[in-house]
Chain A
Amino acid sequence: NAGVTQTPKFRILKIGQSMTLQCAQDMNHNYMYWYRQDPGMGLKLIYYSVGAGITDKGEVPNGYNVSRSTTEDFPLRLELAAPSQTSVYFCASSSSLKRGTGANVLTFGAGSRLTVL
C-alpha cells in the first residue's frame, strides 16, 4: 500500500515552460487535493476533486489546471510557468464522508519541489 505518490520529486523549469505534476493514490479515496507551500508559509489549496470527473477551485487556482479522469490519478498542470510558482506542491487524498459522520482524514504525498527560473 503506497498511499499517495507524487512525481517528480524535484523539477526546474524555465519561465514560460509547461509541465504536469503527477499524483496517484491507491486507497480508493474519492477526494483528492493539490496544495502549494511557499517557504515559511502554510499550505494553500489550489484545486480539489470530490470524485472522478469533478474538480473545483481552491484558494489559489490561477495558473494551474487539473483533471480527474480516474479515481486514482489527479494531475496538476502548470501552463506558462512563472517564478511566482516556485514552491513545494503537495497532493493529498481522503475518503468520502460517511453519512451522518464527519471524520475525513487527509493523507499527503511527499511533495514535489518546483523551481521556476
Chain B
Amino acid sequence: DAKTTQPTSMDCAEGRAANLPCNHSTISGNEYVYWYRQIHSQGPQYIIHGLKNNETNEMASLIITEDRKSSTLILPHATLRDTAVYYCIVRGNTNAGKSTFGDGTTLTVKP
C-alpha cells in the first residue's frame, strides 16, 4: 500500500471548517483513499473514502486532486467533539490485508 504523509497537528476554531491534508504521492491506480478518526483511546472510526471523485457524506467531504497524489478531508462545521486524531490511509485491491496506518493528524477544535 502507498505511504501517506500528514501534518502532526492542527487547530481549528469551533464552527469553522477544518481542512486536513494528506499526501499520497505513490498511490497506484487501484488504491482508494480512506479517512478514519480516533477519539481519545477508542477504536478508530471510519469517516469517508474515495477513488478519484470528490465524495461527501453526513460526516465530511473528501477532495482528491486530479493527479490523486493528495487529498483533503473537510469537516464543514467543526465542533469540540471533532477533536481527535485523523488518519489518512491508502489501500488497494491486491494487498488489502496489509492496511498500515501512520501517526495521523491531531486536530484540536477550540471554542
Which A residues form the contact surface with B (CB < 8 A)? 4, 31, 33, 35, 37, 41-45, 48-50, 56, 58-59, 88, 90, 92, 94, 97, 101-111, 113
Chain B interface extent, by class: 20 to 34
Complex interface residues of chain B between 16 and 63 (CB less than 8 A to chain A): 30-32, 34, 36, 41-46, 49, 51
Of all chain A residues, the one with the shortest Cβ separation from B97 is A48
> With a CB–CB cut-off of 8 A, which chain B residues contact A101?
93
Contact B98 A45 (CB under 8 A): yes
Cα(A5)–Cα(B85), bound, Å? 22
Contact A97 B102 (CB under 8 A): no
| A111–chain B nearest beta-carbon distance, Å | 6
**Interface SS, B side:** loop
> With a CB–CB cut-off of 8 A, which chain A residues contact B49?
103, 105
Contact B101 A43 (CB under 8 A): yes
Residue B65 is within 8 A (CB to CB) of chain A in the complex = no
> With a CB–CB cut-off of 8 A, which chain A residues contact B51?
102
Cα(A48)–Cα(B99), bound, Å? 9
Residue B80 is within 8 A (CB to CB) of chain A in the complex = no
Q: A31-B96, A45-B98, A106-B34 are in contact. List 20 more A-B contacts (CB 8 A).
A: A42-B102, A43-B101, A44-B101, A45-B101, A48-B97, A48-B99, A90-B43, A90-B44, A92-B44, A94-B99, A97-B93, A102-B30, A102-B32, A102-B51, A102-B91, A102-B92, A104-B32, A104-B91, A105-B34, A105-B46
